[in-house]
């Protein structure tokens, strides 16, 4: 029986994400096959998965780098009535793919963040439980004096009116914001945090290799995400770090 070709899959938008071209270039040097998949094109790929394997277009997938928001996988190639359903199906399938024991994933899928309307709030609870120093937040009916608003969907902006704060139980913080940090494997890229070791340990525990965090001026974590924006200037360094992680993990 001929040996099935193996494949590393990169899921993301090559035009919008500076990391994607750097990744495909680095990964292609050593691997049998690297496939780039647009997250909106699930139906265009021929897929077969069980509890211990994943094949895409006839190739056995051994690695996945997933760079898309699970809640915004759109079914663009479907008619309008089916688009939401197709997006939901894509979300379900990719979570399973990222959790397979036979796949090295960046990052490993976990159901709590995957289906949450706010992944950073899930991470924050995990950080507090893991001893990571976190910036104090207030929620809901609090005054907005000298505070910044951290919307549940991500970002940072000025506080909304009180009526809206009550209706959304908005998260607000008073501490000034520091530099954003990137976590890749066991190191930080950019920024600093006194709680870096604990932060990395929590991410590792949940199978997250590439992540980002917003810290305050005292180095305490405010929010975090497993889908950080990687600027073009850092793309090659991050791609090499991911490559190194994939080699260690095999």
Residues that bind another protein (CB under 8 A): 42-44, 46-51, 75, 77, 84-86, 88-93, 95-96, 99-100, 109, 111-112, 114-118, 121-122, 125, 134, 136-142, 151-153, 163-171, 174
Question: What is the spatial distance between Cα 42 and Cα 105, in angstroms, rounded to a whole number?
Answer: 18
DSSP symbol at 171: E
- In this structure, are strands 34-37 and 6-11 parallel, antiparallel, or unpaired? parallel
* CB closer to another protein, 125 vs 187: 125
* CB closer to another protein, 151 vs 191: 151
Name, in order, each residue with C-beta under 8 angstroms of 3's C-beta and a sequence gap of 6 or more. Answer: none
* CB closer to another protein, 12 vs 75: 75
Shortest Cβ 111–another protein spacing (Å)? 4
Angle at 177 between CA 116 and CA 162, to 5 degrees: 65
Shortest Cβ 216–another protein spacing (Å)? 12
Shortest Cβ 208–another protein spacing (Å)? 17
Give Cα 74 to chain centroid, integer Å: 17
Count of C-beta atoms within a 10 Å radius of residue 67: 21
Shortest Cβ 94–another protein spacing (Å)? 8
* CB closer to another protein, 50 vs 176: 50
């Amino acid at each position: 029986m001929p040996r099935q070709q193996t494949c590393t899959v990169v899921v993301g938008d090559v035009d919008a994400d500076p990391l994607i071209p750097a990744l495909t270039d680095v990964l292609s040097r050593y691997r049998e096959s690297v496939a780039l998949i647009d997250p909106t094109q699930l139906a265009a790929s021929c897929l077969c998965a069980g509890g211990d394997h994943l094949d895409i277009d006839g190739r056995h997938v051994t690695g996945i780098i997933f760079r898309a928001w699970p809640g915004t996988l759109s079914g663009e190639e479907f008619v309008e009535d089916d688009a939401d359903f197709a997006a939901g199906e894509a979300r379900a399938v990719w979570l399973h793919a990222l959790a397979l024991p036979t796949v090295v994933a960046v990052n490993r899928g976990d159901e709590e963040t995957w289906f949450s309307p706010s992944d950073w709030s899930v991470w924050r609870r995990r950080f507090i439980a893991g001893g990571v120093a976190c910036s104090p937040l207030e929620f809901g009916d609090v005054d907005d004096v000298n505070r910044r608003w951290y919307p549940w969907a991500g970002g940072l902006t000025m506080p909304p009116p009180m009526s809206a704060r009550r209706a959304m139980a908005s998260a607000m913080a008073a501490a000034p914001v520091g530099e954003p940090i990137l976590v890749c494997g066991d190191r930080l890229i950019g920024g600093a945090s006194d709680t870096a070791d604990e932060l990395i340990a929590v991410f590792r525990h949940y199978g997250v290799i590439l992540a980002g965090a917003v810290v305050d001026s005292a180095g305490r974590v405010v929010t975090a995400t497993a889908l950080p924006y990687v600027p073009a200037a850092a793309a090659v360094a991050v791609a090499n770090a991911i490559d190194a992680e994939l080699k260690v993990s095999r």
